[in-house]
Amino acid sequence: MRHKPSIGEYLAFLSIKYEVNPEKFLYALRTAQGHKSNCGNLSIQCRGEIKTKLIFLIKRDSEVIAQFRMDREFLLNKSNQLKNFMETDRIRRHLSKKNRTSPVHSIIDVRTGMSHVNLKAKILEVAAPKHVVTRYGNNASVAKVLIADETGTIKLCLWNGQIDSVSVGDTIQIENAQASMFRGERQLSLGKKGTLNSVEVLKPQLKSIELPTTKT
């Protein structure tokens, strides 16, 4: 039997889905009794009360996104916080799906499992290629490239001819890269759908990035 979410779990999910602060969202619900309140891009209205349950209507602009009943006791209990309802399968599935489908444009936002990573970054280091045998039995060369933008650094995994197409100091544009974890470290790879191109115009922030010092 499918688990019916509690009102706390449902409100936590709404806050994540519509990208509003969970506790501010709950506060806006508490202050909506008798009139309207707002939280981010959401408008909240208490439409009335049946016995001990309050009826809420939530809109985003003119679109109705939720209408539900909630026990007055739950709402007025100040010890209830939505952060206590975040560890649910529904929220995990939503965040996982969002990570896979939402384009990412800065290194700081890269998370493991993302598959639409689009970045403009500067190449700081190109490691010596290693010769490996793939799982299909083919010989190949692979190299890790350290890239950086104004938000941080990350390793980019390049194969065969991709390695010779880049040099230290180049600025590259990456489209549809995939993010994974290897030996506890985030890394990007191009996969079948990813592309890599060199660009001539540097962002002002990228000009200030310096090659980090290494120990000898």
Average pLDDT value over all residues in the chain: 83
User: In this predicted model, what pLDDT tens digit does every residue of 96-109 receive, in sequence order?
Assistant: 776 665 566 889 88
Is 121 part of a structural domain of the chain? Answer: yes
Tell me the sheet residues that pair with 126.
145
Residues 152 and 59 placed together within one structural domain of the fold = no
What are the residues facing 44 on neighbouring strands? 37, 58
Residue 112, amino acid: T
Q: Is residue 213 part of a domain?
A: no
Total domains, the chain? 2
Query: Do 58 and 142 belong to one domain?
Result: no
The CA radius of gyration of the chain, in Å to the nearest whole number, is: 24
107 with 203, same domain?
yes
Laid out side by side, the sheet with 53-60 consists of: 36-39, 42-50, 53-60, 63-71
Residue ending a domain, choose from 97, 127, 156: 97
Q: What is the pLDDT of residue 102?
A: 57
Domain C-terminal end among 97, 119, 136 = 97
Contact 209, 148 (CB under 8 A): yes
Do 138 and 196 lie in a common domain? yes
Residues 90 and 28 in one domain: yes
Domain of 81 in residue numbering reads as 7-97
**Looking at residue 201, what is its pLDDT?**
46
| Closest to 68 measured CA to CA, from 86, 47, 88 | 47
- Is residue 215 a part of any domain in this protein? no
Cβ atoms of residues 151 and 122 within 8 Å: no
Same domain, 92 and 154: no
pLDDT cut 70: percent of the chain above it: 87
- Is pLDDT larger for residue 136 or for residue 203? 136
- Identify the domain boundary among 97, 126, 153: 97
Residue 143: partners with Cβ closer than 8 Å, 6 or more residues away: 126, 127, 128, 129, 130, 157, 158, 163
- 121 and 155 in a single domain? The answer is yes
For 34-57, what is each residue's pLDDT tens digit? Answer: 778 999 889 999 988 898 899 999
- Between CA 64 and CA 46 the distance in angstroms is 13
Question: Are 71 and 57 found together in one domain?
Answer: yes
